[in-house]
Amino acid sequence: MGPGVASDALRGLVRHALIVLLSCVCVHWVLLGRAPFRQSEGHRVAPAWAMLDSGNRLRTEMFELNYVRKPPGMPWAIAASSAVFGRNEFAARFPSALACTLMALGALAIGRAWLGSMGGLAAGLSQAVLPIMWGPGRSAEIEALNTLATQLAVLPLVALLLRPPGDRRAADVPMALLCAAGILAFALTKSAASAPCVVGAIFGACAARRSAGPLVNPIALGAIIVGAAAAFGALWVVARANTDPDAVRETGSFLWQRPGRTALLLPLALAAALPSSLALLWAFGRDAQREGEGADEQWNRAALFGRACGFAWVASCAIYIGLGVDNPRYLMPASVFLAPVVGYAVRGAWGGGGQGPFARGGFTPARRDLLRRVVFRGPAAWCGVLVAAGMIINTRAVEGTPTATGRTAGAALAAAMPDGATVWADDLIEARPDTLLYARAAAAAEGRSMRPVWAKPWMHRAELPPAGDYLLIRIDEGSGEAERYAPHRVEGQLAPIAEGELGRYRYLLLLVVGPSRN
């Protein structure tokens, strides 16, 4: 490759990266920190900010109670961003938006390597604007970070497994290290939730090759072993630092809870991953197989990689179904396989042509025409529609924030308590811990202190804090705290101070006025 060609390729890469980045900014970054915390964001934010207070990065706590339902990967990320940007909504959501941006750039990079310039751009844009990632990319939740880690693990793995026997390249070791790092990262973010995608990647490579040869690829298998060993060691170290007997841990299993819904998981997953999942229609069948066996070696590589990722997505979904998963959200890690399939489809439909020795491989005319009709005016139209839809929907979601939020509820609670107040809570923390984060912040803004305590072990036994402290209970039908503490109220030990509502939750703030008889 001459210097002029290399320079043109670099300019093309930079141009495409800027297009992908602009799409990510429109979808994931606009007004990122404007809305208050919602749903379960507080479950990731509170442990992260507790780490900043304590300086202990291995121990995860929420309002002074050991909290180990999830590995510490997301709290680590939020703690790091909060140390830079401050303790606010933007900092808490920054890791998720960054993860989605890096996923899009990663899809662009590996897409260019296997699918060519056009296929790489299509892969990057499809990942950038994938609707299933709009919510996770704008929230302080674990899905976006876990999906990025999954992409780091499985796409390099597919690339390694597709190498012909004996074909070793300088990039193989960095790819293997990326794979191992991805396995470690997703284990530290969501434990083994993405492990089916690793198995799916192996199956996809074997199916695309129509051979069991990928199973004996030493570099790929070594990457899996190293990543799994590192993950096991890291999780063991974390577990050793979180051994409190009263620690809040994951209990029960979500598998095989609704067998009927599990049986419908594949069509639900296809619907959830629209429009990218439409590209799967062109990845399978005899025509797709024959198209990848022509004289154009670059197209053959593109078809091989795209079809391997398509098989990998199907295999991963089948594994999740076999395990009894019934929620399409848990299949989100497998969505990283779809961007290369989109790149393959776009490359096949718009990248072929030419005659004689200059002919470029691609889809058959019939498949090309059908795809072009399905995609209407072309990939650019799809991307433009999705970017615009993402901006409009996400902006309206921010502007449409309900008046009753954790921020308003927290401010009301802070106003009802004096300086130095200690408040016990359990069910409201389980439901909306952001409420007490906002209450503490509102008190601090007025120069006062407030100490929220997650008193789960004691409140399960209907115990009381010392006189002068506060008790925050839920009084909606979804909680038994009102009934549990009714005798204390009858005995005059608790005085109501404030009552409020947050979505479907209703809560009551009580002052302990009498000596506790626990």
Rounded to whole angstroms, the Cα distance separating 461 from 12 reads 65
Task: Please give the backbone phi and psi of residue 501, each rounded to the nearest 5 degrees, phi first.
Answer: -140, 140
Predicted pLDDT of residue 357: 39
What's the predicted TM-score (pTM) here? 0.92
Q: What angle do CA 242, 244, 248 make, to 5 degrees?
A: 80
Could you tell me which residues come within 8 angstroms of residue 1 by beta carbon, excluding any fewer than 6 positions away? 9
| Domains of the chain, first to last | 3-398 (no CATH), 406-512 (3.40.190)
Task: Please give the backbone phi and psi of residue 502, each rounded to the nearest 5 degrees, phi first.
Answer: -140, 95
Predicted pLDDT of residue 206: 96
Predicted pLDDT of residue 403: 58
Predicted pLDDT of residue 355: 41
Predicted pLDDT of residue 253: 63
Decide if 371 contacts 363 (C-beta within 8 A): yes
Tokens in use for 348? 């096949």
At residue 486, what is the residue type? A
Rg (CA), the chain: 26
Predicted pLDDT of residue 354: 43
Q: What angle do CA 307, 308, 312 make, to 5 degrees?
A: 115
Cβ burial of 275 (10 Å; 0-12, 13-18, 19+) is middle
DSSP string, 203-221: HHHHHHHTSSGGGG-HHHH
Predicted pLDDT of residue 384: 62
Predicted pLDDT of residue 370: 77
Q: Per-residue pLDDT for the chain (518 aa), expressed as one digit of tens each?
A: 555 556 777 888 899 999 999 999 989 999 999 899 988 999 999 999 999 999 999 999 999 999 999 999 999 999 999 999 999 999 999 999 999 999 999 999 999 999 999 899 999 999 999 999 999 999 999 999 999 999 999 999 999 999 876 667 778 899 999 999 999 999 999 999 999 999 999 999 999 999 998 898 999 999 999 999 999 999 999 999 999 999 998 876 667 777 777 788 888 888 888 888 888 988 988 888 887 777 778 889 999 999 999 999 999 999 999 998 888 889 999 999 999 999 999 998 876 544 433 346 778 888 888 777 766 555 555 666 666 666 666 666 555 555 568 999 999 999 999 999 999 999 999 999 999 999 999 999 999 999 999 999 999 999 999 999 999 999 999 999 999 999 999 999 999 999 999 989 999 999 999 765 55
